Amino acid sequence: RAKEIKTKLGTLLQKPDSTIDFIIPYPDKPEKPPKTQKPSPEEALQWRDSLEKLLQNPYGLASFCSFLRSEFSEENAEFWVACEDYKKIKSPVKMAEKAKKIYEEFIQTEAPKEVNIDHFTKAVTMKNLVEPSPSSFDMAQKRIFALMEKDSLPRFVRSEFYQELIK
């Protein structure tokens, strides 16, 4: 019995990923989604030509994310939102924590929600994270924005999600 416990303990001690969570507390509580009003068809029509307007509108963002989820590509919008939240952080300690979280979730190879960015952009982002600043993820965020604008937005505009909004 003691040997079994010792083996389990040894296995736990060899897994650095699980111990990292004990060292760095993540104070971010998941936020309740804001009560959003359905946009007017006129407002929704503007989204066809402006991903920026779509992402700035809470209802538009939620609809776009639902659509992306249905296509199994929501990591792009989630990354974009995480970057927007990151830029609002004032505390260097919190910024470093959030930067690490974003990197582990979206940027690093084999990340759970890895976004599709080229090696150069990944390298620049990693270099920027040595000293995290509000602009650390700017290049990667711009690449993902361009990808969503060119690729996801046209499919969203043709989707039932969107067609329902402009009726």
Residue 166, burial from CB neighbour count under 10 angstroms (0-12, 13-18, 19+): middle
Query: What are the tens digits of pLDDT across the range 148-164?
Result: 999 999 999 999 889 88
* pTM (predicted TM-score): 0.76
Query: What are the tens digits of pLDDT across the range 23-67?
Result: 444 444 334 444 568 888 898 999 999 999 999 999 999 999 999
Phi, psi angles (nearest 5°) of residue 80: -60, -45
Query: What number of other Cβ atoms are within 10 A of residue 68's Cβ?
Result: 20
Task: Kindly tell me the number of DSSP H helices and DSSP E strands found in the chain.
Answer: 11, 0
Residue with tokens 């503007």: 46
Residue type, position 110, single letter: E
Nearest to 55, CA basis, from 132, 164, 156, 139: 156
Which domains are delineated in the chain? 41-164 (1.10.167.10)
pLDDT band at 1 (very low <50, low <70, confident <90, very high): low
Q: Which two tokens stand for residue 49?
A: 């030509």
CA distance 89 to 106: 18
- What is the average pLDDT value for the chain, to the nearest integer? 84
